[in-house]
Structure 1
Amino acid sequence: MWLARAGVAPLTPPRPRTAGERPPLAAARPEVWLCRAHGPALRDLTHELLRDLLATYLDCRREQVPLRLESGQPPAVAAPWQGLPLSISLSYAAGVGAIGLCAGAVIGIDLAEVAPLPDWERVAGLYLGPQAVQQLAALDDAPRNHAFAAAWSEMEARSKCVGVGLEEWSAARARRLASSSILTATAALPPQPDGRMLVLTVARAPLPRPAGRDQP
């Protein structure tokens, strides 16, 4: 089920798709696909599925897809869908790869494993902020594990929407990530075959305004 987060604007949640599904795209509506593999094969499989998806939606052959996959850079495709730019986001955790596509808006997705973290307080303090530490400290172990994963996933998805990497918490960064223009939804995925639990956050933001187009 999709989890309501206090103070966060809701996003109509996409249903995670299997590799063989090709739902129709719609402007500003995120779509997400999941795939599973072990070890280094996961990224290769995810990239192959991404190329197949883009070939379908751009109506071209796989080898013609102008896909850019560069280390340290977000994935990008240099071709529009029905005149709209296509935003791409990828995430990996616990043998699961996730692909997010959105036409006409920026998408950020993130998977996080629900698992005990012995130094959760230190990590949360560094990256999620003092309010998150206070909220997490009020929970018992099991719900804290889930809440930490959900908060981490949302932080990462929002960061991808605004184009920033993982950075230590600051009030300025928190204000930027909390922008009301970023809509989010966070989900608990069904248990994996090995019993591990994951949460997935999908975030969507408006396209950046072109330079020189600001209103006076």
Structure 2
Amino acid sequence: MAGLDAATLSWSAQPLALPPALQGRVQAQAVTMAGPPSDALPREPMREAVYQSICQALAPQLGCTARQLAVQRRAGQAPQLLCNGQAFTGCQLSISYADAMAVWACTQEGSVGIDVQGLPGDAQTDIDAAGWPAVAALYLDPDAAAALAGLQGMDWQRGFAQQWARLEAQLKCAGMPLTEVHHRQPGWNAGMVVTDLTTDSGALALAWRTSA
């Protein structure tokens, strides 16, 4: 569990522009961390910055202060929002990290998943030799895999990153782990609103589904 100490990194948060179908139902932000220019950003301070962003954004809506809120990590499950140490069950969170950026989404109406993905390589990467098309065939739904057909080079990488972000967002929304496509039941993502969002740090997708 983490509270409100993100002093080890400077960070900024910006709301993500959501389509009309999600406005008023989902809240989402991008959190950008500033770190050493040559060293990898440590994950724990990044988490602290994201948790602080969540608490600050949600406190006014929940009628409490940011210091009364905290975010609890749960292995294999979505993070849990706490208020005064007790689970706030009416709020579902989803968080994703990519390099110096993180994104989070929250809903009090149904379920939500969000995911940000960097590219799988660079302009010099041999995608076939690296095995990425095989990964796409194993994990992406047929329509998503078909969207990559005919793409080459960086266009393929950008397309793959976007389709992978969409897949991960939907899996999080459904509360499912990543599995090969043939292990997922038909209709597992029925009723989801899936949207691609704009970011400078990679492919970003959000999935939302109303309560049954």
TM-score normalised to structure 1 length: 0.70
RCO higher in structure (CA 8 A, sep ≥6):
1
1:160: Cα distance to partner? 0.8
Residues 1:19 and 2:13 are matched in the alignment: yes
Provide the secondary structure at the position in 2 that maps to 1:100.
Answer: strand
Query: CA RMSD, aligned part only?
Result: 2.7
Provide the secondary structure at the position in 2 that maps to 1:166.
Answer: coil
Provide the secondary structure at the position in 1 that maps to 2:57.
Answer: helix
Aligned equivalent of 1:59 = 63
| Consecutive unaligned residues in structure 2, runs of 5 or more | 1-11, 34-40, 84-88, 122-126
Structure 2 vs 1, CA of residues 160 and 144 (structure 1 numbering), >3 Å: closer, same or farther?
Answer: same
Q: How does 1:1-216 map to 2 (within 5 A)?
A: 19=13, 29-37=25-33, 38-40=41-43, 41-65=45-69, 67-77=71-81, 85-116=90-121, 117=127, 118-129=130-141, 132-170=144-182, 172-173=184-185, 175-177=187-189, 179=190, 181-190=191-200, 197-207=201-211, 209=212
For 1:97 and 1:132, locate their aligned partners in 2 and report how far apart those are by CA, in whole Å. 24
1:59: Cα distance to partner? 1.9
For 1:183 and 1:124, locate their aligned partners in 2 and report how far apart those are by CA, in whole Å. 22
Structure 2 vs 1, CA of residues 72 and 139 (structure 1 numbering), >3 Å: closer, same or farther?
Answer: same
For 1:90 and 1:145, locate their aligned partners in 2 and report how far apart those are by CA, in whole Å. 23
Equivalent pair of 2:51/2:71 in contact (CA under 8 Å) = no
1:205: Cα distance to partner? 0.3
Corresponding residue pairs, total = 176
Identity %: 23
For 1:151 and 1:109, locate their aligned partners in 2 and report how far apart those are by CA, in whole Å. 13
TM-score normalised to structure 2 length: 0.71
For 1:125 and 1:171, locate their aligned partners in 2 and report how far apart those are by CA, in whole Å. 13
Equivalent pair of 2:13/2:32 in contact (CA under 8 Å) = no
For 1:172 and 1:85, locate their aligned partners in 2 and report how far apart those are by CA, in whole Å. 27
1:134: Cα distance to partner? 4.5
Deviates more, 1:164-173 or 1:98-107: 164-173
For 1:67 and 1:48, locate their aligned partners in 2 and report how far apart those are by CA, in whole Å. 9
For 1:105 and 1:51, locate their aligned partners in 2 and report how far apart those are by CA, in whole Å. 20
Structure 2 vs 1, CA of residues 156 and 69 (structure 1 numbering), >3 Å: closer, same or farther?
Answer: same
| Consecutive unaligned residues in structure 1, runs of 5 or more | 1-17, 191-196, 210-216
Provide the secondary structure at the position in 2 that maps to 1:175.
Answer: coil
Cα deviations by residue, 1:158-191 (Å, 9 ceiling, x for unpaired):
11111001111116445313x1x1011113413x
Give the letter aligned to residue 199 of structure 2: L
